[in-house]
Amino acid sequence: MAKGGLAYSMQEAWEVPRDLLLGRYPEFVTGGPLSRGQVPVFVFHGLEPNTFERKLRHLADNGYVTLSADEYFQVLMGARTPSERAVVLTFDDGRGSLWSVGGPLLRRYGMKGIVFLIPGRVPDHDGPARPTLEDVDAGRAPAAAIASRDEGDEAFLSWTEIDVLARSGVFDFQSHTLFHARIHTAPSVVGFVTPASRRGYAALDTPLVREDGVDLMGADLALGTPVLRSTPRTSEELRFLEDPTPRRACVEAVAAEGEAFFSDPGWEQRLRRLVRQPWTGRVETPDERAQAIRHELAESRRIIEERTGKPAVHLCYPWHVAGPTARRLAREVGYRTAFCGKVAGVPITPPGGDPHAIARIGEDYVELLPGRGRANLAAVLYRKWSRRFAPRASRVVM
């Protein structure tokens, strides 16, 4: 489900000092050195021009170089000695701002990154070429033209943009699974599909819903569809396949009024009254789970390779979640690496470390790397928490 609201922001704020106390961050985060041979891997999502350029400038001013996925894999395998100041920049989801902001700035600073793409979410249609930061700088487009690229129907890169960026060499496109899917795990209603939850990136947080034998994603779900307790598809939990009858009652109630239904302050209570009865259904089998996860992993790789003409043998688990079945299948379908989030006892994955459990650190900490103009942790955390506590649009009503 969507991660939002004050409770989640408070939890996230507490995680940083907790993880610092437990030694889950690299030494450089608290002012220490970056040891020889260490290659930190940073994770980005959406990009904003000023903050992203500030990070790249810090890297460039201090002689840092960026590695591709294959170059980094060679470092892990001991087949390549990294430069003293090598880093890896990874970008999850394939958001539209990689075209409008990421590509232009990486070219400007002579750097490159790895995009973990969700091919099942890439739009099939292409319109006119979207403006970029280069267009803004040249006066061909206003700054507002790129400010909301990660929202609405243009939230993700198009295949045309992916092709241009792949051929330029600025981005290396790898796998974030086919759909970045969540699945229902229990007959407990936690929210409903709203107009906001079907748009852009917010739709990623809505679990798959099976209708007439077909799995529908968030953007395709009918308004009012109940959302049950869920988990990432790559977890070890088994999917709960619910009886569609209560769902249809909710959808029909909303359809009778359209989006105006949600202008009623009591709309959620109205829908909850329709799903009060126990929700029946069945739990998938372990074989069904394995088949579904294999499809997520193998089909993603196939499509990316077909569309880019380049190998896609590096994986990033959605929400950094992978159960034993997903980890086994990732190897079986040919992935050489798997990128995660924090990895227990491994702040930075060293050469010779597990290539299928690569530790990553958030983009906020790039400016804490040793060098001229190095930021301090207090300033970084202030910016981080200011952003986390800023109001943001709701996704799926909880």
Give the CATH number for residue 385. 3.20.20.370
* Parent domain of 263: 182-285
Confidence of residue 311 (pLDDT cuts 50, 70, 90): very high
Q: Are strands 86-93 and 65-66 parallel, antiparallel or unpaired?
A: parallel
Q: What is the pLDDT of residue 201?
A: 84
What is the structure's pLDDT at 1? 35
Residue 393 has pLDDT above 70, yes or no: no
Q: 324 in a domain, yes or no?
A: yes
Average confidence (pLDDT) over 235-261: 96
Q: Is residue 61 part of a domain?
A: yes
Q: Are residues 262 and 304 in the same domain?
A: no
Determine the pLDDT at residue 273: 94
- Ranking 7-21, 74-88, 341-355 by mean pLDDT, the lowest is 7-21
**276 & 318 share domain:** no
Question: Is the model's pLDDT at 9 over the cut of 60?
Answer: no
CB-neighbour burial class of residue 259 (10 A; exposed 0-12, middle 13-18, buried 19+): exposed
Number of domains making up the chain:
2
**For residues 63 and 277, which has the higher predicted lDDT (pLDDT)?**
63
Is there a domain that residue 234 lies in? yes
Asked if the structure places residue 72 within a domain, the reply is yes
Check whether 125 has a pLDDT greater than 90. no
CA distances from 66 to 56, 105, 172, 222, 256 (A): 10, 13, 12, 43, 54
Q: What is the mean pLDDT of residues 85-103?
A: 97
Query: Is 397 among the domain residues?
Result: no
Indicate the SS3 state at residue 46. Answer: coil
Q: Do 167 and 26 belong together in one domain? A: yes
Same domain, 97 and 217: no
pLDDT band at 14; cut points 50, 70, 90: low
**pLDDT, position 11:** 61
**Is the pLDDT score of 391 beyond 60?**
no
> How many angstroms separate the CA atoms of 112 and 209, rounded?
37
Q: What is the pLDDT of residue 312?
A: 98
In degrees and rounded to multiples of 5, residue 92 shows phi and psi of: -85, 145
Q: Would residue 60 count as lying in a domain?
A: yes
* 196 domain-assigned: yes
- Same-domain pairing of 27 and 128: yes
Residues 162 and 28 in one domain: yes
pLDDT at 279 over 70: yes
Domain identity same for 91 and 239: no
pLDDT of residue 392 exceeding 60, the answer is no
Residue pair 93/176 in contact by the 8 Å Cβ criterion: yes
Residues 355 and 328 reside in one and the same domain: yes
Least-confidence region, from 77-81, 194-198, 335-339, 388-392 = 388-392
Task: Answer yes or no: is pLDDT of 12 > 80.
Answer: no
pLDDT at 117 over 80: yes
Q: What are phi and psi of 165, to 5 degrees?
A: -70, -35
Return the H-helix or E-strand segment holding 66.
strand 65-66
Q: Indicate the pLDDT class of residue 271, thresholds 50, 70 and 90.
A: very high
Q: What is the pLDDT of residue 388?
A: 64
Residue 394: pLDDT over 50: no
On whether both 298 and 151 belong to a single domain, the answer is yes
Residue 204 lies in a domain: yes
- pLDDT category, 373, cuts 50, 70, 90? very high
Question: What is the Cα–Cα distance from 67 to 86, expressed in whole angstroms?
Answer: 7
**Pair 207, 355 in one domain:** no
Q: Which of 234, 263, 285 is the last residue of a domain?
A: 285
Look at residue 277 in the predicted model and tell me its pLDDT.
Answer: 79
**Is residue 122's pLDDT more than 80?**
yes
Close Cβ partners of 276 (under 8 Å, ≥ 6 residues apart): none
The pTM (predicted TM-score) of the whole model is 0.92
Task: List pLDDT tens digits, range 134-148.
Answer: 999 999 999 998 988
Q: Check whether 25 has a pLDDT greater than 60.
A: yes
Domain boundary among 285, 306, 330: 285
30 lies in the same domain as 139:
yes
- Phi, psi values for residue 41, rounded to 5°: -115, 120
- pLDDT(226) > 50: yes
The last residue of one of the domains, among 266, 285, 304, is 285
Confidence class of residue 389 from pLDDT cuts 50, 70 and 90? low
Assess whether pLDDT exceeds 60 at residue 268. yes
Question: Looking at residues 53-64, what average pLDDT do you find?
Answer: 98
Residue 40 reports pLDDT greater than 50: yes
Average model confidence (pLDDT) for the chain? 91
